[in-house]
Amino acid sequence: MMINDKNDVDRLQAVWRDFRAYLEYERDEGHARIIVMDTTRQRVESWAAPPQSRASSAKAVTAPPVSSVAASSISPETSEASTLGEIARDIAACTRCDLARTRTNTVPGHGHPRPQLLFIGEAPGEEEDRQGLPFVGRSGALLTRMIKRMGLSRDEVFIANILKCRPPGNRTPTSAERETCRPFLERQIATLSPAVIVILGATALHGLLQVETAISQSRGVWHEYRGIPVMPTYHPSYLLRNLKARFDTWDDMLQVLDRIGRRPPPIDDHKGKS
């Protein structure tokens, strides 16, 4: 196959990226067992690699992170971690709305104290309320898989919700509840200082950006929160019901990776992430 110019490279990269995402989806859903010979994959990835990297490696190269401090160099004993602990204690003591009477645990969030990516969802569900951790139910399992496909782990990002307490019956949070919890999230964002915020679903979109547009109209389009790029996309619970939307969400995540200077790993490299 002849690669004549950068446009050919870009087109081939896009085709291979989409094909790889399709293979992952089919494999993870158990719809099919598709085997790609290592030699074939290496050849295609070699074609798709930028010209300067073809001679040295067939694998995609991850660019340096946007943050001036690499995630692996940050100790949990940083001031960020200490401040996040203070916010979590304030959340645990909060009785500003009626959800304080029905919760089992508050769910402040979890992850790296100085992440490149901050994921923001709607509110804790039953399992999150029981464990005090965000996204640990079925939706959480899907989110974890998506983060792995991006070449990251949950410990390298931060995951939070607009609400820090579970609404009874997992109902949609009210606007009053969103506003009551909003100061906690604002403090977390200021402390975390992420390179990019990923909004998961309409409630998070409305709560953080205070807009009322539909998530289907806002996803895939860059927004901004106090100077931080924001990418809205579908909530994992919606993706559990709408398989086709997973491809749209993956397109959104590819934009996010591009924004922070990273590329998704080869199809099998995300397995070791947790």
The CATH number covering residue 81 comes to 3.40.470.10
CA distance 179 to 158: 21
Residue that is written with structure tokens 């205070």 in the block: 210
- pLDDT tens readout for residues 122-133: 999 999 999 999
Q: How many domains does the chain have?
A: 2
- Asked if 172 and 264 sit in the same domain, the reply is yes
Query: Do 234 and 107 belong together in one domain?
Result: yes
Write out the residue range of the structural domain in which residue 198 sits: 71-272
Instruction: Find all residues with CB under 8 Å of 209, minimum gap 6, and list them.
Output: 199, 223, 225, 230, 232
Report, as an integer, the average pLDDT of 249-261: 98
Q: Per-residue pLDDT for 273 more than 60?
A: no
Evaluate whether residue 49 is within a structural domain: yes
pLDDT at position 64, please?
30
C-alpha 119/C-alpha 273 separation (Å) is 17
Q: Which tens digits make up the pLDDT trace of 27-70?
A: 554 544 444 444 444 444 444 444 333 333 333 222 233 232 23
Same structural domain, 225 and 172: yes
Structural element, H or E, at residue 233: strand 228-233
Which pLDDT belongs to residue 267? 75
Instruction: Find, among 72, 70, 69, 50, the residue nearest to 61 by Cα.
Output: 50
Q: Given this model, what pLDDT does residue 60 score?
A: 26
Same domain assignment for residues 79 and 26: no
Q: How many angstroms separate the CA atoms of 226 and 221, rounded?
A: 17
Yes or no: say if 184 and 100 are a contact pair by the CB < 8 Å rule: no
Q: What is the pLDDT of residues 151-168, one digit of tens each?
A: 999 999 999 999 999 999
Quick one: the chain helix, strand, coil %, rounded to 5? 50, 10, 40
**Could you tell me the pTM of the whole model?**
0.72
